[in-house]
Amino acid sequence: MKSIGEEIQQSEFSDVYQKLGINILFTAAWFGELNRIALKDYDISLPQYNVLRILRGQKGQPISVAGLCERMIDKSSNASRIVDKLETRKLVSRRICDKDRRQVDVVITEKGFSLLEELDEKVPTFKGMMSKQLSSKDAEALNFALDQIRNK
């Protein structure tokens, strides 16, 4: 099995934290790649997929474009244009919010919902990828450690 050192063919790391940082970046890229490949057949990009999932998580409740931005993994990507693409394909719908006409309410459509259900079958789940190597207790600990890292 390949360790991160073998993977990027670097034998020496200046320290274990350096190695961990690169390992996290590398693992994230690996995840992204697997998902991207799975989504390719459906002509849907990773950020588009993430937006659809966020909308599904809303359980019918609309969310603003700014709200989407906050919840997206890649904050700086352009939610407005991602929603454009999804709307063109009728996977989401968009209407001006009554309460504040600057805002736009975005919701997932029936079509978007059923596409997501189809994708659920194809996209590798984290559970499927990790549960054999990692106990749920270890996963919990890892979650805690990552939360720690992001909060000095």
Provide CB contacts within 8 A for 96, sequence distance 6+: 103, 104, 105
67 contacts DNA (rule: CB under 7 A):
yes
19 binds, among a second copy, DNA, none (CB under 5 to 8 A by kind): a second copy
Question: How far from the centroid of its chain's Cα atoms is residue 98's Cα?
Answer: 30
- 122 Cβ neighbours under 8 A, 6+ residues apart: 38, 39, 41, 42
The interface region with DNA, picked from 8-16, 19-27, 97-105, 114-122 by CB under 7 A, is: 97-105
For 88, the token pair is 């063109």
Binding residues for a second copy, per CB under 8 A? Answer: 1-4, 7-10, 15-33, 57, 70-71, 73-76, 125-127, 129-134, 136, 138-140, 142-143, 145-152
**Which parts of this chain interact with DNA (CB under 7 A)?**
36, 40, 45-48, 64-67, 74, 76-85, 94, 97, 100-104
